């Protein structure tokens, strides 16, 4: 499944109607969640039936396309199912109990409620809100795909406008010249990553570079009177700056992951629990800025596209164990050089870790035991986040 994105170009009155559709979708989602909380043994079908009841009870809910209402109920069920799964697997920490949402940013249509022009350059929304016709502005050409291949669309509101995402039923494959090259990579903060051949990629530190501008815009917004037009303008400028940093971070992750996968047949990386790592408040901002999870998601995706291997291994003691002799040399985070007193090996700790990670990955492939090498095909091309992380 590919998700292609284009910006919607229309009038302000049309954008207001899209806002109403987004608010209605959020209303349906919250009502479905309330129905699950107030009643026992509520399943997915019960939430689907609730959509028809809400359409009869509320006129504005009836304006939203029936499949869009069902998609909103599905979002509530995704959150509920995730909570059930976390409880069954006894996930440590919070289980993610579903919560009501105050603000909505998207509405999803399935195969009805919209119509696309023959040249795939315009889209018309035909539900009760009658938002009308919008021009599609973007670099992705939809004319290569038939309308039947578009299984659903999502209208997303961002700081710089409204976007339409098309979920296209097609599998992406690209040619790759296999070279039997194997790489282990150790992600970090000093360097974005160090591979087992000794090559390093600089950490862009995009948030840090934009921090001065963000602080200035934040101060300006906080000084404005609440509810004033000046405050709304200042908040919009601040949001656009945050969005720009997010896009820069994603662009870097995508290009770096593609280059890495194209240059080798096997990529091994650490299966880091970033959610636990950011609990260290001294490093939380730097870790979030590095966006390791986003990078490894795209490594998995491109491994699937180019028909190569991407393997995640346990990160335990990769920085402590000596790659040459296996002796455990304990060191703090501030110690950047690995010195083994047993065999005399001296190298950068990230290089030692990368070699250790590669050795772990090769060991796991022997006998085909516990391999995590499946690429994620549901990623946004031109969006912000993977498809499976936007539902719920």
Are both 130 and 30 inside the same structural domain?
yes
343 within domain boundaries: yes
User: And the tokens for 70?
Assistant: 């069902």
> Which positions of the chain have pLDDT values less than 70?
366-392
CATH number at residue 356: 3.30.420
Clarify whether residues 264 and 316 are in a common domain. yes
Are residues 186 and 164 both part of a single domain? no
The reply to whether 280 and 193 lie within a common domain is: yes
Q: Is residue 176 part of a domain?
A: no
Question: Residue 235 falls within a domain, yes or no?
Answer: no
Residues 42 and 77 in one domain: yes
The pLDDT, as a whole number, for residue 94 is 86
Q: Are strands 191-195 and 200-202 parallel, antiparallel or unpaired?
A: antiparallel
Q: How many domains does the chain have?
A: 2
Task: Please give the structure tokens belonging to residue 285.
Answer: 């901002």
Q: Which domain holds residue 191?
A: 182-205+256-376
144 & 268 share domain: no
Within this chain, do residues 161 and 201 fall inside the same structural domain, yes or no? no
Buried b (16+ CB within 10 A) or exposed e, 285-314: ebbebbbbbbbbbbbbbbbbbbebbbbbbe
Instruction: Give the model's pLDDT for residue 13.
Output: 95
175 in any annotated domain: no
Q: Are residues 127 and 199 in the same domain?
A: no
Residue 142 lies in a domain: yes
On whether both 286 and 148 belong to a single domain, the answer is no
Q: What is the pLDDT of residue 383?
A: 40
- CA nearest to 82, candidates 385, 298, 388: 388
User: Which residues neighbour 341 within 8 Å (Cβ) at sequence distance 6 or greater?
Assistant: 327, 329
Does any domain span residue 186? yes
Helix 229-262 crosses helix 206-223 at what angle (to 10 degrees)?
170
Q: How far apart are alpha carbons 240 and 87 in whole angstroms? A: 38
Q: What does the pLDDT read at residue 366?
A: 61
pLDDT at 386: 40
């Amino acid at each position: 499944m590919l998700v292609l994105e284009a910006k919607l170009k229309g009038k302000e009155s049309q954008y207001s109607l899209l806002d109403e559709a987004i608010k209605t979708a959020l209303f349906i989602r919250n009502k479905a969640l309330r129905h699950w909380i107030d009643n026992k043994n509520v399943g997915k079908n019960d939430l689907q039936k609730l959509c028809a009841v809400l359409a009869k009870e509320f006129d504005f809910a009836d304006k939203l396309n029936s499949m869009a209402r069902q998609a909103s109920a599905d979002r509530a069920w995704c959150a509920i199912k995730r909570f059930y799964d976390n409880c069954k697997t006894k996930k440590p920490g919070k289980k993610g109990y579903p919560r009501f949402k105050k603000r909505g940013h998207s509405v999803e249509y399935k195969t009805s409620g919209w119509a696309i022009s023959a040249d795939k350059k315009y889209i018309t929304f035909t539900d009760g809100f009658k938002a009308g016709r919008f021009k599609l502005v973007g670099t992705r050409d939809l004319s290569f795909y038939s309308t039947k291949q578009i299984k659903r669309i999502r209208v997303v509101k961002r700081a710089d406008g409204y976007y339409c995402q098309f979920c296209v039923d097609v599998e992406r494959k690209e040619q790759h010249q296999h070279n039997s090259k194997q790489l282990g990579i150790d992600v970090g903060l000093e360097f974005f990553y160090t591979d087992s051949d000794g090559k390093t990629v600089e950490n862009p530190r995009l948030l840090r570079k934009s921090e001065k501008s963000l602080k200035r815009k934040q101060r300006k917004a906080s000084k404005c009177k609440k509810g004033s037009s000046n405050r709304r303008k200042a908040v919009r400028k601040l949001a656009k700056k945050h969005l720009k940093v997010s896009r820069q971070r994603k662009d870097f992750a995508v290009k770096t992951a593609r280059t890495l996968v194209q240059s080798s047949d096997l990529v091994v990386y650490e299966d880091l629990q970033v959610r636990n790592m950011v609990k260290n408040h001294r490093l939380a901002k730097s870790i979030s800025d590095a966006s390791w999870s986003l990078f490894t998601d795209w490594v998995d995706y491109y491994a699937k596209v180019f028909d190569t291997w991407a393997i995640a291994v346990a990160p335990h003691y990769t920085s402590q164990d000596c790659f040459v002799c296996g002796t455990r040399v304990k060191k703090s985070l501030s110690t950047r050089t690995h010195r083994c007193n047993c065999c005399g090996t001296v190298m950068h700790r990230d290089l030692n870790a990368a070699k250790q990670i590669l050795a772990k990955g090769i060991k796991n492939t022997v006998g085909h035991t516990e391999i995590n090498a499946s690429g994620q095909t549901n990623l946004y091309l031109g969006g912000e986040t993977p498809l499976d992380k936007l539902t719920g």
